Amino acid sequence: MAFLTVGKENSADIQLYYEDRGSGKPVILVHGWPLSGGSWERQSAMLLQSGFRVITYDRRGFGRSSAPEAGYEYDTLAGDLAKLIDKLGLQDAALVGFSMGGGEVARYMSKYEGKGIAKAAFISSIAPALRKDGNNPDGVDPAVFEGLKRGIEADRYAFLTGFLKDFYNKKILGGTHISDEAIQASWNVAAASSSGAMLKCVDAWLEDFRGDLANLKVPTLVIHGDADQIVPSKASGERMLQYVKQAQVHIIKDAPHGCTWTHATDVNKKLLEFVR
């Protein structure tokens, strides 16, 4: 087990839990909400077997990392990532973000000029911009996110049960592409996260990353399921080419938000081709 101190709150250090395994070219995997670095299980195994060095970490407030009161906006979250990349001295790495993790990828590549990163990938990502407004008519109505926050505040455990059913499209894919036990495992991880972090991160999803993406010059991969009920592909993945001209966009038919598990074979094939 390894921890990196990224700050301090009162008398306590703010620590990120991370895992650094394997050898070869590094691949950094940034997890989504409300899970942890362990959610990359199927991708980590494939990359390690293929001869890559794989780095995963738990976002502050989630998994085994500290849960401070503040820091759940993207400047701080990207700063945490930057400290990890500096700590490990990474060079020529591939940076991969899932869902909320796509925001860290976009902000890091912009704010830190992509230091140490040779390739970037966005899977089921919230980029380029989720908030629907006059400048972003193809986004999602902000009322949706207010509803999520009310659900978390009322009973986050009951909320997670319904959320994860949609995350994996259980009604359609349960029993064939994912088991009840795997969904329960995700629930267990999510329920163990900080309640404050769960709630505060929802506001962060409304960040506009279009300006960040304008600075993205490295080879870029976008993977999204066309049946994503959490981050609709038409509001996110399918729009990335408008802002990242060099992006390869791969839309997976009938795949849900949690395609890294349900459609791991397809995701892994594209990801391996890209990082190689």
- For a pLDDT cut of 70, what percent of the chain falls above it? 100
Q: Rounded CA gap, 91 and 113, in Å?
A: 13
Q: Is the pLDDT of residue 105 over 90?
A: yes
Region 209-225 average pLDDT? 97
pTM tops 0.85, yes or no:
yes
Q: For residue 166, what pLDDT is reported?
A: 98
Eight-state DSSP code of residue 101: H
Fold exhibited by the domain 2-275: Rossmann fold (3.40.50)
DSSP E strands in 31-179: the ranges are: 53-57, 93-98, 117-123
The alpha carbons of the chain give a radius of gyration, in whole angstroms, of 17
Q: Rounded CA gap, 237 and 235, in Å?
A: 7
Region 198-203 average pLDDT? 97
Q: Tell me the one-letter amino acid at 180.
A: D
The dihedrals phi and psi of 111, each to the nearest 5 degrees, come to -70, -35
Q: Is the pLDDT of residue 1 over 90?
A: no
Q: For residue 269, what pLDDT is reported?
A: 98
Strands of 220-225's sheet, edge to edge?
2-9, 12-21, 53-57, 26-30, 93-98, 117-123, 220-225, 247-252
Q: For residue 82, what pLDDT is reported?
A: 98
Q: For residue 103, what pLDDT is reported?
A: 98
Spell out the domain ranges in the chain.
2-275
Q: For residue 124, what pLDDT is reported?
A: 98
Residues forming the active site? 99, 228, 257
In 3D, which of 193, 98, 195 has the Cα closest to residue 151? 195
Q: Rounded CA gap, 61 and 67, in Å?
A: 4
Q: Tell me the one-letter amino acid at 215.
A: N
Output the furthest CA–CA distance in the chain (Å, rounded): 50
Q: For residue 199, what pLDDT is reported?
A: 98
Average pLDDT, the chain: 97
